[in-house]
Amino acid sequence: MVKLSVVVPFFNVQTYAPDALRSLRANAREDFEFVLVDDCSTDGTPRLLEEAERTLPGAVFVRHERNGGLATARNTGLDAARGEYLTFMDGDDWLAPGHLARVLSAAEELGCDFVRTDHVETTGSKRVVRRVPHGPQGVVLEPRRAILPADRSTSVDYPFAWAGMYHRRLLDRGLLHFTDGLRTAEDRPWIWKLHREAESFACVGEAGLFYRRGVATSLTQIGDVRQLDFIRAFDQVLRETAADRDAEILMPKAVRTYCAIIAHHIGSIERFEPAVARKLRALSSAALHAMPQDVLEKALDSMDVERAARLRRLRRRTADAAVAR
């Protein structure tokens, strides 16, 4: 029986894939499988994965015929996975030796739906441990309780799918698949749904995943139209939150988080191509206009002056455009 499936999407990461694959080998166990999904790479990545399928214990190689993005690639891996537990890694990151076994042991001991882990953020030679923004470790809680408060960083603000391990019953309930086709922020609707609908979770520390920042091919470094999928992702968060039984309680958190992300992108708008920057302003303005305005106003009042002013200018843009029409 396969105890753990690790879903690892790859796209044009031939420089970093060897590190990722070596770290998987240092985590291999006879009851582990590694589902390696190539998202139609155009560099040497497929050749590395073909070799890994032959030499890495437990490797399963799946290749897309056309590029679908990270969410779609993860879904492909989930569909192929056979494990009782599941987790993720990205093809330009790596794991400390034995990390997977340690997290699995904690998950089995706690017996909850999923566990969340800390991680190590790496930029060049710099290493910083990033903690799950939640209280006690090793304590099983209801995930819904970890969404709030609205004005502080909480578990839904730590959306990284690879920073955790998930029991297969969540997959069977439809809680682990991502919104197909999202090119960025794919983990935002995912983490919100997980915390709304799963029954139990715990934080376990175990900072054994190394997340590589500043990769030139990473979508976070590219200012093209794919970045704007965060609008579609957060529109989904708001839509699903509005339908939740606790919508009145949870909506202020969803709106405030959405506002913070819009403010972040608008604040660094110079990194976008000009046409994309114009579209970013238009879509962000429309998103603010579509939010429940009483909740939005309270969210803006709770933010710092600079970000709130930036967002209020965007909101006025919608009103001005409507008057002009």
pLDDT of residue 189: 98
Domain ranges of the chain: 4-216, 223-324
Look at residue 216 in the predicted model and tell me its pLDDT: 56
- Residue 320 has a pLDDT of 46
d(CA 149, CA 299): 12
Q: Would you say residue 148 has pLDDT above 70?
A: yes
For the cut 60, the answer to whether the pLDDT of residue 322 exceeds it is: no
| pLDDT on residue 223 | 61
The two tokens of residue 206 are 């175990």
Please, what is the Cα angle at 241 between 246 and 84, to 5 degrees? 95
Q: Which pair of tokens denotes residue 136?
A: 């006690």
Model pLDDT for residues 174-191, shown as the tens digit of each residue: 999 999 999 999 999 999
303-312 per-position pLDDT tens digit:
999 999 999 9
Q: How far is CA 247 from CA 110, 178, 224, 287, in A?
A: 30, 22, 33, 18
Look up the pTM and report it. Answer: 0.93
- Which phi and psi angles does 214 have, rounded to 5°? 80, 15
Whole-angstrom distance, CA of residue 278 vs CA of residue 274: 6
CA atoms lying within 13 Å on the CB side of residue 290:
15
What φ, ψ does residue 111 adopt, rounded to 5°? 70, 20
56 in the Ramachandran plot: left (φ > 0), alpha (ψ -120 to 50) or beta? beta
The CA-based angle 192-198-204, given to 5 degrees, is: 85
Q: In this structure, what DSSP letter does residue 147 have?
A: S
Q: pLDDT, tens digit, for every residue of 61-107?
A: 999 999 999 999 999 999 999 999 999 999 999 999 999 999 999 99
- Evaluate if residue 321 carries a pLDDT over 60: no
Mean pLDDT of the chain: 94
Instruction: Name the superfamily (CATH) of residues 4-216.
Output: Spore Coat Polysaccharide Biosynthesis Protein SpsA; Chain A (3.90.550.10)
* pLDDT tens digit sequence for 291-302: 999 999 999 999
CB 291 within 8 A of CB 314: no
For 91-176, strand residue ranges (E) read 94-95, 114-116, 119-123, 126-130, 164-167
Residue bearing the bigger pLDDT, 319 or 281 = 281
Task: Please write the tens of the pLDDT for every residue from 190-248.
Answer: 999 999 999 999 999 999 999 999 765 554 445 678 899 999 999 999 999 999 999 99
SS (H, E, C) 229-258: HHHHHHHHHHHHHHCCCCHHHHHHHHHHHH
